[in-house]
Every structure is written in structure tokens, then in C-alpha cells.
DNA sequence: CTCGGAGCCTGTCTGC
DNA sequence: TGCAGACAGGCTCCGA
């Protein structure tokens, strides 16, 4: 379930640990995990660790030739990047790849094998299409332009990564609750005021989740192996039947495009596709 | 172009 | 107790 806040948490932890270190060896334990010639990363030095959308991207510099390449990890559902320091366990279940650097070992562990490890010579193919909602360039005006003309359900629209990057099922639900917007609304039907509310909710929920090192239900672990704590602050996600923290009415669960959606029908009223001017 | 659904994967939980 | 089936959901692919 790693979404933007979880990936950001991992990146912030790994940056000081990996930066400047040399990749001594890369062991691949799942033949289907790597994409591209990932072994080209070996022997190079880590010069940057960043988040692009939901990916963790390491920049690797080649000393002599001045070449540069990029190792990208997508955690998808159950992936974890775990920092072992100088003492790494010999074998453990679901280990897909192991990166040995001179300052320690980084393990890529993934139960369900949706996660990917990818090598690119250039950064461009790794750049997501969508706008990063935590970037300073993400304004309410730009959000309004992105939403314009879309007939998609609002919750479904928030999950697509070619408009905004970083949201998944948990934060889409939480953001819509904060914005007091019904998940079944048509994305293009929002008024200017509603777009502003959605923009504020996006910024606020993501900022708070990063501050709490993300959300852990069962799978997400930080690079240190610790869990996130934002699940304590979730208002509606996985709270079906529980009282809404605002109005005390029952939170409901409905299935939208095969995914659970949680919301408060009283605080997030309406389901129409008709824009109401205001 | 947009939209919706299947498939990928495995651990966990529920009901019979 | 054992087993089948549902469920979790990020992303890609394919067809309408």
C-alpha cells in the first residue's frame, strides 16, 4: 500500500544512509523482479536518492566516464526497502533483491511480487506524467484545469497517476473526507470553491501523513523496519460502521471500480454528475 | 481520446 | 479442523 507519504518516508531515511556509497554487488533472487540491465549499477556511486511519484530512484554515477544511470524501485503493494547496516540476515522469505554497499546492505523484500526494480540510463522515462501534489507548482488553479471536462467519478479520478501522482486508495478516501466531497461526484463537476477545498485537503492530508511516517496496516515498513503511525489518524478508511469524527453518523463502505471506498454520506453528500453552480 | 474490467500475486480472514 | 472463496489494491494491458 505504499502511496506518496510512505515512499517519501523511505526516501528521507535512505538519502543520508546511501548517499556517497558505492554499490559493491547486486543480488537478484527473483528472476522476474528486475527490468532492464540492472547490473550496470554495480560499481557506481550513489549521488542522489529521490522520490518520483511512488518510485524510489537512486542516481548512480560512474567515476571515470562520468556516466550516470538510475535505479528505480516501485514498491507497489507489499514491497519494502529495508536497511540492514553491516549485519544483514543470511536468508529471509520474500527477499527479491539485495544491494550491498560499502556502508551496509539494502534489501528489497516483496511478498506479492508486484514490486519492480528497474534500470534506466536517463531520468526522463522514470518521470511520471502526473503532477506531484506536494510540489510548490501544484496550485488550486492547476488542479481545476486538470479536473476540467472529466466525467470520471472523483475518487476514481484521484487514483489515476497520469493527472496527479502519489495517491492510492487510503489517501484518496481521506482527502475526499477532508474536502467534504462525495467520491461518486463527477470530477469535472466541481465548483471553484470545491476545487479549492480539494486542493487544501490534498496538501494537508499528505503533509500530515509524511509527518507521521505514513500508514501501516500490515505491510508497510520504513527503511528502518519501523511502522508508520498515520493509521491512527485516518477518519474514514477501513472504518465502516464506525462514527464519523465530525457528525457521528456511520461511515459507509461502497465498491467503486472494484475497490473499497469509505466515506460519510452526511458530511460528503450528493452523488450526482450534475454541476451545481456556486 | 476515455473508460472499465481482467490479470498479476500471496497472505489472511470468513464461512461452511 | 480443513478447505474454498473473498479480499487486499498499484499498475499494465486490452477491448469497447
The integer distance in angstroms from the CA atom of A259 to the C1' atom of B15 is 22
Q: What is the pLDDT of residue A195?
A: 95
Q: What pLDDT band is residue A149 in, cutting at 50, 70 and 90?
A: confident
- Percent of chain A, pLDDT > 90? 62
pLDDT tops 90 at residue A255: no
Report the pLDDT averaged over residues A20-45.
91
Q: What is the pLDDT of residue A189?
A: 92
User: Scanning the structure block, which residue is given the C-alpha cell 496527479?
Assistant: A164
Scanning every strand, the nucleotide with its C1' closest to A168's CA turns out to be C10
Q: What is the pLDDT of residue A82?
A: 92
> Nearest residue to nucleotide B8 when comparing alpha carbons to its C1'?
A114
Q: What is the pLDDT of residues A80-125, one digit of tens each?
A: 999 998 987 887 888 999 999 999 999 999 988 889 999 999 998 8
pLDDT tops 60 at residue A234: yes
Q: What is the pLDDT of residue A65?
A: 72
Scanning every strand, the nucleotide with its C1' closest to A152's CA turns out to be B3
- Residues of A that are catalytic: 2-3, 54, 259
Core vs surface per residue A3-32: b (16+ CB within 10 A) or e: bbbbbbbbbebbbebbeebbbeebeeeeee
Closest CA to A38 of A84, A71, A7: A71
pLDDT tops 50 at residue A248: yes
pLDDT tops 80 at residue A217: no
In chain A, what is the straight-line distance between the N-terminal and C-terminal CA atoms, in Å? 37
Q: What is the mean pLDDT of chain A?
A: 89
This prediction's pTM: 0.93
More confident residue, A180 or A64: A180
Q: What pLDDT band is residue A1 in, cutting at 50, 70 and 90?
A: low
Amino acid at each position: 500500500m505504499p502511496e506518496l507519504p510512505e515512499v517519501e518516508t523511505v526516501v528521507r531515511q535512505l538519502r543520508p544512509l546511501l548517499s556517497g556509497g558505492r554499490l559493491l554487488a547486486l543480488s537478484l533472487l527473483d528472476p522476474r523482479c528486475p527490468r532492464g540491465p540492472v547490473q550496470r549499477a554495480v560499481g557506481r556511486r550513489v549521488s542522489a536518492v529521490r522520490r518520483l511519484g511512488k518510485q524510489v530512484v537512486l542516481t548512480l554515477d560512474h567515476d571515470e566516464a562520468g556516466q550516470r544511470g538510475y535505479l528505480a524501485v516501485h514498491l507497489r503493494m507489499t514491497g519494502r526497502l529495508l536497511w540492514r547496516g553491516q549485519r544483514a540476515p543470511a536468508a529471509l522469505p520474500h527477499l527479491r533483491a539485495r544491494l550491498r554497499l560499502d556502508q551496509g546492505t539494502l534489501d528489497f523484500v516483496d511478498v506479492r511480487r508486484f514490486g519492480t526494480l528497474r534500470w534506466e540510463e536517463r531520468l526522463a522515462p522514470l518521470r511520471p506524467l502526473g503532477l506531484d501534489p506536494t510540489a510548490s507548482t501544484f496550485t488550486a488553479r492547476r488542479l481545476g484545469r486538470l479536473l476540467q471536462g472529466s466525467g470520471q467519478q472523483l475518487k476514481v479520478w484521484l487514483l489515476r497517476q497520469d493527472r496527479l501522482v502519489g495517491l492510492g486508495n487510503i489517501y484518496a478516501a481521506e482527502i475526499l473526507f477532508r474536502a467534504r466531497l462525495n467520491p461518486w461526484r463527477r470530477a469535472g463537476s466541481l465548483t471553484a470553491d470545491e476545487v479549492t477545498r480539494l486542493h487544501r485537503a490534498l496538501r494537508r492530508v499528505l503533509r500530515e501523513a509524511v509527518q507521521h511516517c505514513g500508514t501501516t496496516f500490515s505491510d508497510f515498513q520504513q527503511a528502518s523496519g519501523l511502522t508508520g503511525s498515520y493509521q491512527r489518524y485516518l477518519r474514514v478508511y477501513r472504518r465502516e460502521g464506525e462514527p464519523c469524527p465530525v457528525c457521528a453518523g456511520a461511515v459507509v463502505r461502497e465498491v467503486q471500480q472494484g475497490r473499497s471506498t469509505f466515506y460519510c454520506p452526511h458530511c460528503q453528500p450528493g452523488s450526482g454528475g450534475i454541476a451545481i453552480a456556486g
